[in-house]
Amino acid sequence: MAAIHDLLAQVQDEALRVRLEQEINRLSKAKKFGLVFEEHLPECTPLYDIPVKRGSTVAKKTGAVSDMYEVSDIKDGIAICYHKVTEKREEILVNELVSVAQFGEPIYPYLKLIDNVCNAPDSDLWHTLIEADNYHALQLLEYLYAGKVDCIYIDPPYNTGARDWKYNNDYVDGADAYRHSKWLSFMQKRLKVAKKLLNPKDSVLIVTIDEKEYLHLGCLLEEMFPEAGMQMISSVINPAGAGRQNEFSRTDEYIFVLQLGAARVLPESRDMENVPIIWDTLRRSDLASRRGTIKGGTSQFYPIYVDDKTHRIREIGAPLAHDVPIETVPEMPGCTTVFPIRDNGIEMCWGLRPEQARIRLQDGYIRVGKYMPEKPQKYIISYVTGGVVRDIESGAAIVTGRDEDGSVIAHYPKGRDKMPTTNWNRPTHDAQRYGTGILKLIFLDKRFSFPKSLYAVHDVINFFLGEKKDALVLDFFAGSGTTLHAVNLLNEEDGGKRCCIIATNNEVSDEESKTLQKQGFKPGDEEWEKLGIARYITWPRTVCSIEGRDINGKPLKGNYLGSGIPMSEGFRANVAFFKLGFLNKTAVALGHQLAELFPVLWLKAGAHGPCPTLEDDGAYMQVLPENRFAILIDEKHFQKFDEEVRKHPKIQTIYIVTDSEAGYREMISGYDDKDTFQLYRDYLDNFRINTVGR
């Protein structure tokens, strides 16, 4: 429907347009169930690397990228163009046009190294920042890391109508009646690829959102990830509240957490030490577990005989059928018979089956409490739950002795772990103080709207990756770069080597866009690009936080909360900054663009060491031990190539340039312990990104 309304706007006859809108509105009133949203017009990507020529699909650099033309001819620097919808003819200067690819058209990416920061020259761990439309960045990453990502954290646009930083579609226009459908379509396309990146056996997807779209997003995530365990956290990010006229002030936002496979939430430790173990009441408390119910079962209602003199359990009896009155149970001389009964007389069930209770009793994990002769249940019976028993067996809790009744005395020397709740009100998650405040330390006078608290991102990632010190983390809505900053802090705290990949576009703010256009600049111009988010905010923050300085070179002030690490010390980390571009398929097939593909091959091989370059176009092979990969460019020299590779056992990835499938199979037959790829077939055949139906 959104696409139909976009097309209706092009109808010149007003009377006809009104009648068509009336009929479409009538048809759209039919009731629909579930999450139903309309696909909008295909997304488009400007291809600044692809020259404008006859037959090209183009857009004006200063116009909407979705407002497309076809070039019929070019004369003296002027393109003769026909509008894709109205078919209106226009003559436009070629340097004012940019080639455009629509969603569904195959395009072939490469990565151009823009810059890097190396603050750990002895480490082969490199993070990556990719400047790109994140859909194409995702598809590049699918080629590189399908099924290998441990954690995806994203903070997507909230669809509020704000125009501070934008993507190349106007789906955030608050006046658009189909803004929800456009936003959902936008998210669905990206989440489809993201799902292919996640390790299905053990990974987590974390998505933040506010009240504008949390209902729609939750339904979309449930629909796309039916196999995942999903929870939603409410997190206070603005304790003072964002004031709104005639509305409640908003203090929080929401975090969807989707756990795939064996992914689990790690507990957080209490600050106290030597915490005694907790004894729980053996009688179940919820009414669904009362005697005779399905949940209560038939085996957990039985007598416990407590000795009247020692007040210790003498015997645990057999279960009673649900229709057997307790009065018929034989008494045991010298004992009080105890059943799990509430004060109001409701018969409940015990928390263990009798055979389990007997084992716990023998091990000292069940004890008798206060005597209450006036109540239906004469004694309180307590026990140690299975989780605490496991803590004792693992050594997390220490048994220091036994009480007079034989029950264990135990405590947690380092405090007892507890599971985090779904309601977060943590002072360190204040986005104003620890998001905007940290950016002010770095940029001084620059502003970025609504950055996340560094510690909020750190904490939610740590709950899943605290024990995965070599995890791969991805954020394809990188914004100011908080996720990479948080991963570096986490690595610094525990010595981890978690690798982080972040992607962001390089759009300028709406206000700056208007100013630049008045000055005669267009997208693609250096003056325009340097004010985009990737180059103006994300990359400078990355460099400054790693080097421990602000943009003027002065040491950062203050310490990181929790760890006490001085910000001025920076991080032992390395990051490569790339811009995603697009190649000519024919040139790739002919082997003319290997140099441009080098960063892609480096990433596919694990991004070990600094990103290399192709120094000699005429070389027949490249053997790069520091980067752990090698390329055979001319298959006639395979024997010499094989000899060189075997001198370097650290090389794990082999690329073979050949058109012969049989030849490729023969050459890799001795590399069973390595990852091998056939170029350029692997790239062209298996990397047809942006194709219909993905």
In this predicted model, what pLDDT tens digit does every residue of 349-375 receive, in sequence order? 999 999 999 999 999 999 999 899 999
Domain holding 187: CATH number?
3.40.50
In a domain, 592, yes or no: no
Q: How far is CA 62 from CA 46, 97, 123, in A?
A: 11, 9, 43
Q: Which two tokens stand for residue 593?
A: 């663009």
- Give the residue among 661, 656, 612, 653 at the shortest CA–CA distance from 637: 656
542 plus 629 within the same structural domain = no
Q: Which two tokens stand for residue 474?
A: 């991805």
Q: Which two tokens stand for residue 515?
A: 């100013």
- Give the residue among 302, 334, 328, 204 at the shortest CA–CA distance from 256: 204
Residue 52 has pLDDT above 90, yes or no: yes
The mean per-residue pLDDT over the stretch 531-540 comes to 93
Q: Which pLDDT does position 195 carry in this prediction? A: 97
Q: Is the pTM of this model over 0.85?
A: no
Residue 459 has pLDDT above 50, yes or no: yes
82 plus 191 within the same structural domain = no
Residue 53 has pLDDT above 70, yes or no: yes
Give 589 or 667, the one with higher predicted confidence. 667
Q: Which pLDDT does position 170 carry in this prediction? A: 41
b/e burial code for range 39-78 (CB count within 10 A of at least 16 → b): ebbbbbbbbebbebeeebbbbbbeeebbebbbbeebeeee
The mean per-residue pLDDT over the stretch 84-101 comes to 92
Lowest-pLDDT choice from 244-258, 407-421, 545-559: 407-421
The mean per-residue pLDDT over the stretch 143-160 comes to 90
Cα–Cα distance measured from residue 299 to residue 8, given in angstroms and rounded to the nearest whole number: 68
164 plus 45 within the same structural domain = no
In a domain, 261, yes or no: no
Cα–Cα distance measured from residue 385 to residue 405, given in angstroms and rounded to the nearest whole number: 18
**CB-based contacts of 294, cutoff 8 Å, min separation 6:** none
25 plus 47 within the same structural domain = no
In a domain, 2, yes or no: yes
Residue 251 contacts residue 238 (beta carbons within 8 Å): yes
**CB-based contacts of 288, cutoff 8 Å, min separation 6:** 295, 296
Cα–Cα distance measured from residue 191 to residue 219, given in angstroms and rounded to the nearest whole number: 13
Give 272 or 410, the one with higher predicted confidence. 410
Q: Which pLDDT does position 447 carry in this prediction? A: 67
Q: How far is CA 659 from CA 69, 95, 601, 634, 663, in A?
A: 37, 38, 18, 11, 8
- Give the residue among 624, 622, 684, 671 at the shortest CA–CA distance from 650: 624
In a domain, 254, yes or no: no
The mean per-residue pLDDT over the stretch 529-549 comes to 95
The mean per-residue pLDDT over the stretch 30-48 comes to 62
Q: Which pLDDT does position 672 carry in this prediction? A: 92
Instruction: Quote the longest CA-to-CA distance of the chain.
Output: 113
329 plus 465 within the same structural domain = no
Q: Which pLDDT does position 295 carry in this prediction? A: 73
Cα–Cα distance measured from residue 488 to residue 574, given in angstroms and rounded to the nearest whole number: 10
Percent of the chain with pLDDT over 90: 63
10 plus 55 within the same structural domain = no
451 plus 388 within the same structural domain = no
| pLDDT single digits (tens) 382-402 | 999 998 999 899 888 999 999
In a domain, 85, yes or no: yes
Write out the residue range of the structural domain in which residue 86 sits: 41-104
> Helix 482-494 vs helix 454-465: angle between axes, to the nearest 10 degrees?
60
Going by their DSSP bridges, the two strands 313-316 and 304-307 should be labelled as antiparallel
**CB-based contacts of 392, cutoff 8 Å, min separation 6:** 277, 384, 398, 399, 408, 410
In a domain, 472, yes or no: yes
Percent of the chain with pLDDT over 70: 90
In a domain, 172, yes or no: yes
- Token pair 């006078």: residue: 445
Residue 106 has pLDDT above 80, yes or no: no
Q: Which pLDDT does position 619 carry in this prediction? A: 86
497 plus 573 within the same structural domain = yes
551 plus 632 within the same structural domain = no
Sign of CA dihedral 326, 327, 328, 333: positive
Mean model confidence pLDDT for the chain? 88
Q: Which pLDDT does position 171 carry in this prediction? A: 44
In a domain, 593, yes or no: no
384 plus 454 within the same structural domain = no
Q: Which pLDDT does position 322 carry in this prediction? A: 86
* R_g of the chain computed on alpha carbons: 32
96 plus 155 within the same structural domain = no
Residue 521 contacts residue 527 (beta carbons within 8 Å): yes
Instruction: Please state the domain count of the chain.
Output: 5
530 plus 463 within the same structural domain = yes
- Give the residue among 375, 369, 153 at the shortest CA–CA distance from 258: 153
Residue 548 has pLDDT above 60, yes or no: yes
